[in-house]
Each structure stands twice: as structure tokens, then as C-alpha cells.
Amino acid sequence: MAQGPSPSKKSTAQALILAFKNGDFEKVDCVLKEGTSANLQGNSGETALIEACYNGNYKIAQALLEKKASVNHKTKNGFTALMAASQKGHAKLVAFFVKA
């Protein structure tokens, strides 16, 4: 039987995602430099990249992509980073994904 992330990984994922939601680039940068995966997931399968795109934070999205964040990851509901940026009307992020 597969198990979910360990409690420490889960709390790290939540902290990273919260920093992205809040647009706290300095904290995000610090956490990524410590070696935390850019692909950690929250309870619903959301990643920091999806949250950054949902909130229109281009700078954070770029930092995540530099750390190999998955652009194709889907939440439990099938939601992707591109869909998040598109749904919220963040044209700069949408254009970035389309060009990539």
C-alpha cells in the first residue's frame, strides 16, 4: 500500500506552497536553495508552481521552473499551472507557457 508524504515533507510542502501563495519570493528562494523539491504537493495535489500561476506571480514561477518544477503536473482535479494562469487571466504567464 502506498503511503503519502512523511509529516516533515508534508509540512515543508505546505510551507513552500504558503510562501508562493503569499508572494514571498525571499522565503521561496531560501527554501529552494536549501534543496527542497519544487514539485512538492499539497493536500489536493497542488504544487507551488500551480499556486504561483494562479496568483500571477511570474517571478516565483520562473524560480520554480529553474528548479525543474513540472509544468505538466495535475492536481487531483486535473488542474495544471497553465490552466491556473489562464483561468485567472494572467496573460504574461500564459504566454510564457505557450512559448516554452
Question: Which CATH number fits the domain that encloses residue 95?
Answer: 1.25.40.20
For range 46-75, the mean pLDDT = 91
- In a domain, residue 1? The reply is no
Reported as a single tens digit per residue, the pLDDT across 7-40 is: 466 677 677 777 777 778 888 888 888 888 889 8
Judge whether 22 lies within some domain: yes
Q: For residue 74, what is its C-alpha cell?
A: 495535475
With contact defined as beta carbons under 8 Å apart, do 83 and 48 qualify?
no
Domain assignment of residue 27, yes or no: yes
Residue among 85, 43, 89 at smallest CA distance from 65: 85
| Number of compact structural domains in the chain | 1
The parent domain of residue 89 ranges over 7-99
Q: Domain for residue 92, yes or no?
A: yes
Residue 2 lies in a domain: no
Q: What predicted TM-score, i.e. pTM, was given to this entire model?
A: 0.79
Cα separation of 74 and 61, whole Å?
Answer: 16
Q: What is the predicted pLDDT for the residue at 31?
A: 81
User: Residue 41 class from Cβ within 10 Å (0-12 exposed, 13-18 middle, 19+ buried)?
Assistant: buried
Kindly report, residue by residue over 50-63, the tens digit of the pLDDT: 988 999 999 889 98
Cα dihedral across residues 6, 7, 10, 11: positive or negative: negative
